[in-house]
Structure 1
């Protein structure tokens, strides 16, 4: 009988941020436990204290170089409330929406082609040296070229609206600090046709993979779960920038709907566990065992009643038809959902570029100063919550962030264990390709581990002293 083993995948590759997976096998080589650990710590919720509220939209986007616009806009939406502004001028809201659609588009394209596609195109157990964007460029150069140019287009949208492609300054409390010049608009419009065509071709790749590998997709890291997102107020349409909170269970039953996102703390509880710097949110009324949920593109496809752009709406109907209109709980179907959103973003970008409001000059609204602000947005990876309080000196005294990857923490851990049990249990020899299957499950969520790493209250600290032979000499701990 073999000895118990601990297998560690460190670092998890082709994700943003630093994390590892530990897999515990017993004497019979059966998986007993498998966990995703986030080992990187970022203290934004603490060191934002004392900063002036108008600095927040610029500072918080430093959480991430991949999705800075999401934090920029969520922070700006919270600061709108601090500034006493409930309704932005049309130019300001539409410029922010244009910025956001550019961000979601480029982030989804980056994830699908650069991080996920090598697994889908070459196989989960293909040699590690082959599973990368450079091999895609070598074997399918036109596909690789389009991936690069599509992401470039999204970044140019961000630059036009935020001032820079990364860590821009466009959104400010109460509005925006620029409109869209005609020459910039025309340059972007000249490329919208090819972007629409390429987005549809990328959608076809994801759709066909999901349908052609239906048995694998249905079984791979998949399980029933609740789903949550913003939806448009009134009709429940997909809305990535603003809306009200909606959550459904695994069968599509309503858990809550039409909830003002400023009441998120009445609905959600943030649990902590000793082995990760990420929190584990759950729906208060259901408790931690059954109240956990997923967010992101697939969850948005499940919660949205329809999509208000024609190409994406047709694709949405086709995705929903696979499960007969019931929620789709297949983790790998996230790639199909992600590409539907790329098509939707391109359609939205086109509509906004021809909207004359983007050349308006009424950019900022004002109101009566408040002491608390909450901004919520649908980031590429899912629901993103920013919550702040400000004192009489305009300085931040409280900050709580619940990012998309944090919402998905329980789901990712369950996916890791599901794949590990199905593909590693009973194997005496564990290959790199087998371990990559665990990473494939994580990558389907497109996690941003840097964004998600922060603590609630005291984090435990453990220090161990080892002698030259590796024997434990002493151990000291602080915190619970």
Structure 2
């Protein structure tokens, strides 16, 4: 099974190369300005700055490809803050040291990206041979850091190959057949967990009472981490594709490509503690005057 996963991953990556990268128009689209965004990048790395999905340090690199920070996940609150806007239920995380400067990119903005592209930009390579060669090819083609939003898909395929290679390695590891599986349960206190979900870095922070009830919880999921970048990518794509006020399905599809690249899960990013889904719809006329407002559970 593991060997077939590696073969399938290689097939998929080669199909992408033949169908997309060898097409000059597609490659030009990947490199085009409407799909280019300069932000900080974040992801988990091992002690050698190689990709690690489940353990290691959280590494942050700047749009200039310089290491900005490298910290243990339990200290995430020392490095990340969340900004709130009245027009969305999603929060906007940003790098605390830089501060919130609005939805702008560049080295002076605290907005960052996570996920396959964010990870590609913070690592120095992969620990498996096939994925590492594919990584080198991506960097040779697009440079580093990779600022093309559409390159999320390419990075995702390389990670698929890496994951398949790791499955094969682990399937041959006798240590995983050990029967001593039980973890000792300690006293309930407070803990922070961080892993690389498929969509990106995932922080879970829980504080428990003495009888193991959750007293406080905070989750910064991948789509929340990418919230600012997603908004900026949509704006840049719309500005680059829409001219003279003319919009058709083709243009709308190209704008949609900007946020689909992040594989967003807006349900994940908008947890609601009361267990309801408050919705407010505001209807404006062409003069931007409020016509009607409809609300539920507000």
Normalising by the residue count of structure 2, what TM-score does the alignment of the two structures yield?
0.86
* 8 Å Cα contact 2:3/2:168 also seen in 1: no
Cα-to-partner distance string for 1:426-445 (whole Å, 9 max, x where unaligned): 133x2112111111111111
Matched, 1:444 2:261: yes
Report the equivalent of 1:194: 4
Report the equivalent of 1:224: 38
* 8 Å Cα contact 1:270/1:280 also seen in 2: yes
Cα-to-partner distance string for 1:42-67 (whole Å, 9 max, x where unaligned): xxxxxxxxxxxxxxxxxxxxxxxxxx
Report the equivalent of 1:244: 57
Unaligned 5+ segments in structure 2 are 102-108, 284-289
* 8 Å Cα contact 1:374/1:385 also seen in 2: yes
SS in 1 for 2:127: coil
Q: CA deviation at 1:423?
A: 1.1
Matched, 1:379 2:191: no
SS in 1 for 2:146: coil
Q: CA deviation at 1:225?
A: 0.9
Cα-to-partner distance string for 1:415-459 (whole Å, 9 max, x where unaligned): 10111111113133x2112111111111111111111113699x9
Q: CA deviation at 1:355?
A: 1.4
Instruction: State the distance in 2 between where 1:434 and 1:227 align.
Output: 28
Structure 1 residue aligned with 2:248, among 431, 449, 454?
431
Q: CA deviation at 1:312?
A: 0.3
Determine which structure has more spread, i.e. the larger CA radius of gyration.
Answer: 1
Structure 2 residue aligned with 1:272, among 84, 87, 95?
84
Instruction: State the distance in 2 between where 1:456 and 1:271 align.
Output: 18
SS in 2 for 1:375: strand
SS in 1 for 2:240: helix
Instruction: State the distance in 1 between where 2:245 and 2:192 align.
Output: 49
* 8 Å Cα contact 1:320/1:328 also seen in 2: yes
Report the equivalent of 1:205: 15
* 8 Å Cα contact 2:278/2:295 also seen in 1: no
Q: Give the 3 Å change call, closer, same or farther, for CA 369–432 of structure 1 in structure 2.
A: same
Structure 2 residue aligned with 1:345, among 159, 163, 182?
163
Q: Give the 3 Å change call, closer, same or farther, for CA 477–273 of structure 1 in structure 2.
A: farther
Instruction: State the distance in 1 between where 2:224 and 2:198 align.
Output: 14
SS in 2 for 1:449: coil
Instruction: State the distance in 2 between where 1:306 and 1:355 align.
Output: 22
Q: CA deviation at 1:359?
A: 2.0
* 8 Å Cα contact 2:188/2:210 also seen in 1: no
Cα-to-partner distance string for 1:122-155 (whole Å, 9 max, x where unaligned): xxxxxxxxxxxxxxxxxxxxxxxxxxxxxxxxxx
Instruction: State the distance in 2 between where 1:353 and 1:380 align.
Output: 21
Report the equivalent of 1:295: 114
Root mean square deviation, CA, Å: 2.6
Q: Give the 3 Å change call, closer, same or farther, for CA 246–211 of structure 1 in structure 2.
A: farther
Normalising by the residue count of structure 1, what TM-score does the alignment of the two structures yield?
0.54
Which residues in structure 2 correspond to 1:26-425 (within 5 Å)? 191-208=1-18, 209-210=20-21, 212=23, 213-219=26-32, 220-232=34-46, 234-257=47-70, 259-289=71-101, 290-324=109-143, 326-366=144-184, 368-425=186-243
Structure with more of its chain in helix, by fraction: 1
Q: CA deviation at 1:207?
A: 3.6
Report the equivalent of 1:10: none
SS in 2 for 1:406: helix
